[in-house]
């Protein structure tokens, strides 16, 4: 069944110059009320004051740099905008001075989206954002979780705080949002706080493909392993931009050298086509640390790759 909203397309750069017009993601229609939307691109400009911050400005700069992205994927295949009604829904609302209510407010926002059948592709903000989205959209038991990241984010708490970018997977598993057996973390590396940094992952049977193993498996092997772990059930994909080598992402809070190239990321993400994606996000772009915008450009491209995986999944679910 064709989608009646399929006329909602990004502005065509061959008709209106890229520098022109209001900054929405890829200059998509701005539909804050979500009317007729199947996939909502949503900013979540939230960041905790732990160290080098500024990701609260991420959605704005990612939108700006996304002007450079064209509507069709690199493969020459179908555009996600031909498959689904996609719109920029603006930013999720919350109180920046009250992290506790921010958790509630943003979760409620995504729950409402889920209730209306809108699949979110979110743009952080810091990595706590994934938890916010999951809390909103997971209704029928834990889902699969594909995490690109330099860090495990499996602390029990951080400075005594339980809801933040370092405890994302811990809370997700403990609260029944994430299925640890269907979770895979790709790209982990870098110095560790302690020798226990990955114990939580091991104890819960979560699959970790650290960067040493990433190189051993090769991109095809990584793709196969992700698909094996996650299977056909509903899953969520999160891309913490620091999964990339720090040379590609100077503008993030905790840059780690020795990681994925953008090419690695692109190839692996394209290999995930067909997963039953029910939500996705890209996080941790910090504009104040990225005056030339190259980190945001990579983030915008990754958001588009996530859209290219999510759109057919939404289309398939619609057809059922």
Q: Of 67-96, which residues contact its own copies (CB under 8 A)?
A: 67-74, 76-77, 88, 90-91, 93, 95-96
Q: Which of 255, 272, 257 is nearest to 145 (CA)?
A: 272
- Contact positions with its own copies (CB under 8 A) in 94-113: 95-99
**Residue 217 in contact with its own copies, rule: CB under 8 A:** no
- Contact positions with its own copies (CB under 8 A) in 139-168: 158-161, 164
Q: State whether residue 262 is helix, strand or coil.
A: helix
**Residue 231 in contact with its own copies, rule: CB under 8 A:** no
Q: Of the listed pieces 139-147, 170-178, 232-240, 257-265, which binds its own copies according to CB under 8 A?
A: 257-265
Q: How far is CA 228 from CA 165, 187, 225, 240, 248, in A?
A: 27, 17, 5, 22, 29
Question: Toward its own copies, which CB reaches closer, 182 or 198?
Answer: 198
Chain length of the chain: 320
**Residue 3 in contact with its own copies, rule: CB under 8 A:** no
Question: Toward its own copies, which CB reaches closer, 56 or 207?
Answer: 56
Question: Judged by CB under 8 A, which of 103, 177, 285, 289 binds its own copies?
Answer: 289
- CB-CB contact of 230 with 275 (8 Å): yes
**Residues 6+ positions from 26 with CB-CB distance below 8 Å:** 10, 66, 67, 69, 71, 300, 304
Question: Toward its own copies, which CB reaches closer, 135 or 165?
Answer: 165
Q: Of the listed pieces 109-117, 131-139, 232-240, 242-250, which binds its own copies according to CB under 8 A?
A: 242-250
Question: Toward its own copies, which CB reaches closer, 130 or 301?
Answer: 301
| Nearest-approach distance from CB 69 to its own copies, in angstroms | 5
Rounded CA separation 114/135 (Å): 11
Question: Judged by CB under 8 A, which of 2, 19, 319, 320 binds its own copies?
Answer: 19
**Phi-psi map region of 97: left, alpha, beta (phi>0 left; psi -120 to 50 alpha):** alpha
Q: Of the listed pieces 113-121, 223-231, 254-262, 274-282, which binds its own copies according to CB under 8 A?
A: 254-262
Q: Give the dihedral sign, CA 139/141/84/298.
A: positive
Rounded CA separation 197/298 (Å): 28
Rounded CA separation 136/53 (Å): 24
**Residue 5 in contact with its own copies, rule: CB under 8 A:** no
**Residue 213 in contact with its own copies, rule: CB under 8 A:** no
**Residue 207 in contact with its own copies, rule: CB under 8 A:** no
Question: Judged by CB under 8 A, which of 1, 33, 51, 320 binds its own copies?
Answer: 51
- CB-CB contact of 267 with 222 (8 Å): no
Torsion angle of C-alpha atoms 103, 122, 271, 299, degrees rounded to 10: -110
- Contact positions with its own copies (CB under 8 A) in 115-144: none
Question: Judged by CB under 8 A, which of 8, 28, 63, 283 binds its own copies?
Answer: 63
- Contact positions with its own copies (CB under 8 A) in 182-201: 189-195, 197-198
């Amino acid at each position: 069944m064709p989608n009646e909203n399929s006329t909602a397309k990004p502005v065509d750069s061959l008709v209106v110059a890229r520098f022109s017009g209001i900054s929405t993601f890829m200059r998509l229609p701005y539909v804050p009320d979500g009317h007729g939307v199947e996939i909502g691109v949503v900013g979540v400009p939230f960041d905790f004051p732990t160290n080098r911050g500024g990701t609260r400005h991420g959605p704005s700069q990612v939108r700006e740099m996304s002007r450079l992205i064209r509507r069709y994927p690199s493969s020459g295949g179908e555009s996600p905008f031909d498959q689904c009604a996609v719109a920029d829904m603006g930013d999720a609302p919350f109180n920046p001075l009250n992290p506790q209510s921010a958790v509630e407010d943003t979760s409620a926002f995504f729950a409402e989206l889920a209730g209306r059948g809108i699949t979110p592709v979110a743009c952080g903000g810091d990595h706590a954002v994934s938890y916010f989205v999951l809390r909103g959209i997971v209704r029928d038991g834990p889902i699969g979780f594909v995490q690109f990241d330099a860090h495990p984010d499996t602390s029990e708490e951080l400075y005594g705080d339980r809801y933040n970018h370092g405890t994302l997977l811990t809370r997700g598993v403990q609260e029944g949002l994430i299925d640890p057996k269907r979770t895979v973390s790709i790209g982990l590396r870098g110095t560790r706080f302690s020798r226990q940094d990955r114990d939580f992952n091991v104890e819960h049977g979560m699959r970790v493909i650290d960067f040493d193993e990433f190189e051993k498996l090769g991109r095809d092997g990584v793709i196969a392993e992700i698909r094996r772990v996650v299977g056909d059930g509903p899953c969520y994909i999160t891309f913490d931009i620091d999964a990339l080598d720090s040379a590609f992402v100077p503008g993030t809070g905790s840059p780690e050298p020795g990681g994925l190239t953008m090419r690695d990321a692109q190839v692996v993400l394209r290999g995930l086509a067909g997963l039953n994606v029910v939500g996705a996000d890209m996080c941790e772009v910090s504009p104040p640390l990225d005056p030339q915008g190259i980190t945001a450009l990579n983030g915008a491209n990754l958001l588009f790759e996530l859209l290219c995986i999510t759109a057919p999944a939404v289309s398939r679910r619609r057809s059922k």
